[in-house]
Structure 1
């Protein structure tokens, strides 16, 4: 029985760890699990058009798509309406597209929508090819977009906990190994803390596809000795 308990504890620890990021006052939790199970506010990356059309343009498997399918129950029109309200007053550029929303916003733009008590910070991370709908981004864009999202969290978040996925690991085509991407995000939190009042509790939700690629216990140990 004790051996079984020890095994269960070891497995749990491999799926979730928490540590305080030095010089930030923020406790960061790394957790394998769905972002949508977190009873917190969320940061979700989207494309520069904040598209609402599922399929070729917004993959249902992406977190952008899952906001529409799970939070909005597949109602793309309601999602579009809420996003347009959130973006009112922000200048965009109208493009000619055969499919998708015609207005393109600067990368790093943040639209804040409300899901009951949960705020969803949608941040434009990727450029979208007008013909192929392929999404792409770069490390400098990711750094800037995360900074803008964290600034929005400071501005309207009231210190509430916030969760985000391993931003840039999906369809953004950054081609960065998950361990380096995770460190980059943590470094951005440290950087943002210099000028913004961030929540004391933040979570990065990791997909199960990253389970064999990330030793989160070793990552915690690395941050603990900084």
Structure 2
């Protein structure tokens, strides 16, 4: 965690100042009480030494309570946890979420970029055998209704934004979530409404198939989805967490949601703001 990035944020200093003065007020109140109870001890609390001790204790307590910590919140109702972690999605244990287009194209490199999350997942989780993955996806989508077709290179059947294909990749499941649409030139695009709709479908699928185990999801909307200017990483994380909590209050989705952020994006986050946002999702 890049601590110095957090220390540059006004949110940290605002929190630190409030906690420091609150601690100083409590200590001052305790001293006043002791003087009232035992007036003869008043001299013991006068001078620069007692004042310096109060200031030191207040500052240390303010730093201790404000110091940046891992971004995570546990909820009692519903019984779940949300964590925002820095790292590689594909090294996470338990279930994974991979964003795809509504045509579920898999062929690299002309249609699916090898540097994309999907491209890396195909190479690492399925040994680059996209034909085998196609067979698994076809099996997972056998009951999914098709919404139309498109004339383009690659797959032409459209399943619609919000379709989820659940594929087993022992010892876990991979939830292929269609949140982008392909055009005739195989350019993927997404909308915020489409992302929200897709997340609702995802949580239902995780609830049904995930057996309550933790699930890891990347920050969605950036890259080839062309939403980064409308839905930057900070907002995407909030959208994912909010959608997850709405779904969890209706039916338990899973024991833990991990939102995995690429290191270059993680270091740009206002982590204290995100911690505060997650805490605000607790029922009042």
* TM-score under structure 1 length normalisation: 0.88
Q: Secondary structure at the match of 2:252?
A: coil
Which position in structure 2 is the counterpart of 1:142?
195
Q: Tell me by how many angstroms 1:14 deviates.
A: 6.6
Q: Which of the two has greater helix per residue?
A: 2
* TM-score for both structures, normalised by structure 2: 0.70
1:16 to partner: Cα distance: 4.1
Closer, same or farther: CA 114–213 of 1 in aligned 2, 3 Å? same
Q: 1:15, 1:31 within 8 Å by CA — same for their partners in 2?
A: no
Select the structure with the greater relative contact order (CA < 8 A; seq sep ≥ 6).
1
Task: Give per-residue Cα distances to partners, 1:62-86, cap 9 Å, x unaligned.
Answer: 1111121111111110011100110
1:167 to 217, 220, 223: 220
Q: Which runs of 5+ in 2 are unaligned?
A: 7-66
Deviates most, 211-220 or 191-200: 211-220
Contact 1:17–1:216 (8 Å) recurs in 2: yes
Structure 1 position 129, deviation (Å): 1.4
Query: Structure 2 residue aligned with 1:45, among 85, 99, 106?
Result: 99
Tell me which structure has the larger Cα radius of gyration.
2
After superposition, the Cα gap between the structure-2 partners of 1:190 and 1:75, relative to the gap in structure 1 and judged at 3 Å, is: same
**Which residue, out of 251, 269, 275, partners 1:214?**
269
Q: Which moved more, 1:114-123 or 1:18-27?
A: 18-27
> Take 2:141 and 2:273, find their aligned partners in 1: how far apart are those partners?
40
The number of residues matched between the two structures is 216
Report if aligned partners of 1:15, 1:32 keep a CA contact under 8 Å in 2: no
Per the alignment, in what secondary structure is the counterpart of residue 83 of structure 2? strand
- Per-residue deviation, residues 12-52 of structure 1 (Å, max 9, x unmatched): x9794221258433211110111111111011110011001
CA–CA separation in structure 2 for the residues paired with 1:27 and 1:160: 11
